[in-house]
Copies of this chain bind each other. A is one copy, B any other.
Amino acid sequence: MKPETAKPETPSAVDISATLCGVRLPNPTVLTSGVLGLSHEIMVRVARAGAGGVTTKSCSLKPRPGYPNPTILDWGPGLINAVGLSNPGVEVMVEEIRAAKEELAPLGVPVIASIFAETIYDFGTVARFISEAQPDLIEVNISCPNIDDRYRQMFAANPYVAGQVTRRVKQNTDIPVLVKLSPNVTDVAQIARAVVEAGADGITAINSLGPGLILDIETCRPVLAHGTGGVSGPATRPIAVRCVRDICQAVDVPVVAVGGVTTGRDSVEMILVGATAVGIGSAVYYRGMAVFRQVCEELRDYMERHGYGALKEFRGRAAAIRF
């Protein structure tokens, strides 16, 4: 398979490993949920391509076919998607995670299991279920912007509801829990406080932005079958950086910074505002699976130029600055 396989890590004086809720990542780049995280073989391939951690596609109690296509499109400054949380269901994901863990353990690359549900109650059930596969971390997706009427509003839009979901998940697992937040709220720090008070061990931010809407002006129809979709990629980066900054100033748990990260520069930006790790999704489209290794190399170059030996030496540096 492609060049990106099992190249030995380029040796370097600087240490870019990170520790996320007690879990070690060989490097801070994490495959974000919903991108390539459907099967263990591909997750293993992404890890060999250089990812420091992999997150599974969010899974639910029952299988979901998701929305018809188009579900994912490139509109230039970013991607837009309304996949509809398609997934094979928690039973299947348990098997995929088991298989992934087996192959990734030797590489020292942790597996993050992303879960979601349609009710607060079911979040607990899925969490208990997925824990059987012993993922290194559980990520709770309460922030998908592509909501059917059934859901009414994102769980992540309301601090009380977000807290309840977190509590329910924590009651059902001993595995450290990351809660994934949405940028589509007026005060993300408030939601962050709520989930941390409810017991979240860490936070992942941001989920995709919006929703947004793009029309095909010839047919007068939305280009996505679902109509609206979540915006991701470079176009969203300044919003993501601000959200991560707000969250890191508001709470004291590790944050996985996601949103438009495409280059080493972008990962540095996230770490400077306080991120512990960086999620990468859309950039897999822009730079291929090699993006993980490239971002790490660019990050190392930066650290060498600035004489940093480890990430903690500059993590949060910008958060300190008054503004």
Please list the residues of chain A having a beta carbon within 8 angstroms of any beta carbon in chain B: 75-78, 80, 153-154, 157, 184-187, 209-215, 217, 220-222, 226-229, 231, 234-239, 241-242, 245, 265, 268-269, 272-273, 302, 314, 317-318, 321, 323
Contact = CB atoms under 8 A, between A and B. Distances in A.
Nearest to A269: B215
25 contacts: A76-B77, A154-B186, A157-B186, A184-B186, A186-B186, A209-B239, A210-B238, A210-B239, A212-B237, A212-B238, A212-B239, A212-B242, A213-B238, A214-B237, A214-B269, A217-B265, A220-B272, A220-B317, A220-B318, A220-B321, A221-B321, A227-B323, A228-B323, A231-B238, A235-B236
Interface centre among A80, A154, A222, A302 (most CB of B within 10 A): A222
Nearest to A221: B321
Contacts of A157: 186
Nearest to A218: B306
A238 B185 contact: no
Given A222-B318, A226-B323, A269-B217, A238 B153 contact: no
A185 B186 CA distance: 5
A58 B234 CA distance: 30
Contact of A217 (B231, B245, B272): B272
The A contact surface, by secondary structure, is mixed
Contacts of A318: 215, 220-222
A220 B273 CA distance: 9
A239 B245 contact: no
A60 B236 CA distance: 31
Given A226-B323, A318-B222, A321-B221, A214 B186 contact: no
A241 B215 CA distance: 9
Contacts of A78: 77, 235
Given A228-B323, A318-B222, A77 B213 contact: no
A153 B153 CA distance: 22
Closest 4 CB pairs of A and B: A212-B238, A227-B323, A77-B77, A235-B235
A302 to B, nearest CB: 7
Given A234-B77, A235-B78, A268 B217 contact: yes
A3 to B, nearest CB: 28
Contacts of A227: 323
